[in-house]
Structure 1
Amino acid sequence: MKKYVFLIFAFLISAQAFALDLQNAKNQGLVGETNSGFIAPLASSPSSEVRKLVADVNTQREASYKRISVSHGLSVAEVGHLAYKKAIQKTRSGNYYQNASGKWVKK
């Protein structure tokens, strides 16, 4: 399990190109961490900038999850779930995430 957590941590660090923009969007309540390991806009009609950020981050995450899943014999969904658990730990107070049932929760 430690190996998987390390891989998820390494993935999150490799996403630093998006970190400032992503964290800004989280801090503003524009996006949150989903229970599948991806991000989603919180508004029903997000701006094009938010939609682009979500698409870019999720594309990068999906590619990373696929690489990790192949190299460790896990499904992409399993890797996403591990990433979700790690993301919840790292979610800052005041930011949003989905609980297991899919409801948005403010930490």
Structure 2
Amino acid sequence: MTRFARISALFIALCLSLPALGMGLDEAKGKLESAKTQGLIGETPTGYLETVKANSQAQAIVDAINKARRDEYARIAEKHDIAVTKVETVAGQKAIEKTPTGQYIQQDGNWVKK
């Protein structure tokens, strides 16, 4: 493989991996409320966010926040010696209860405005 071909392959690989780096947690937290208010993101009973309407920026927010939530749920479950699914369920119930009127929550697999 020539030097040019190796550099080109490396450049292409780098470009393809950039979207996978995603949005940082701080940036995602800063944009979450706006995305919820716009109806792009909603809370689910599983304790995680999901996109209500397909949008790449909303998906990046969801991915970043859900990763942090997943890590925190695992930490709590380990600390209290309970199943992660139990932590997720309780967190999901609390998140839905705290969701303001006009934002989306998932009920029985369907999105509804609270």
- Segments of 5+ residues of structure 1 without an aligned counterpart are 1-14
Q: What is the distance in 2 between the residues matched to 1:41 and 1:18? A: 13
Q: What is the distance in 2 between the residues matched to 1:50 and 1:26? A: 9
Question: How far off is 1:19 after superposition?
Answer: 3.9
Where does residue 96 of structure 2 map in the other structure? Answer: 88
Question: How far off is 1:20 after superposition?
Answer: 3.6
Residue type of the alignment partner of 1:98: Q
Q: What is the distance in 2 between the residues matched to 1:93 and 1:103? A: 17
- Segments of 5+ residues of structure 2 without an aligned counterpart are 1-24
Q: Computing the radius of gyration over CA atoms, which structure comes out larger, 1 or 2?
A: 2
Q: What is the distance in 1 between the residues matched to 2:97 and 2:26? A: 17
Relative contact order (C-alpha < 8 Å, sep 6+): which is higher? 1
Where does residue 70 of structure 1 map in the other structure? Answer: 78
DSSP-derived class of the 1:97 partner: strand
Question: How far off is 1:23 after superposition?
Answer: 0.9
User: 51, 58, 67: which is aligned to 2:66?
Assistant: 58
> Is residue 40 of structure 2 the alignment partner of residue 30 of structure 1?
yes
**TM, length-normalised to structure 2:** 0.72
Q: What is the distance in 2 between the residues matched to 1:69 and 1:34? A: 19
DSSP-derived class of the 2:50 partner: strand
Backbone CA RMSD of aligned residues: 1.7
Q: What is the distance in 2 between the residues matched to 1:93 and 1:87? A: 13
DSSP-derived class of the 1:89 partner: helix
**TM, length-normalised to structure 1:** 0.76
* Identity rate, percent: 38
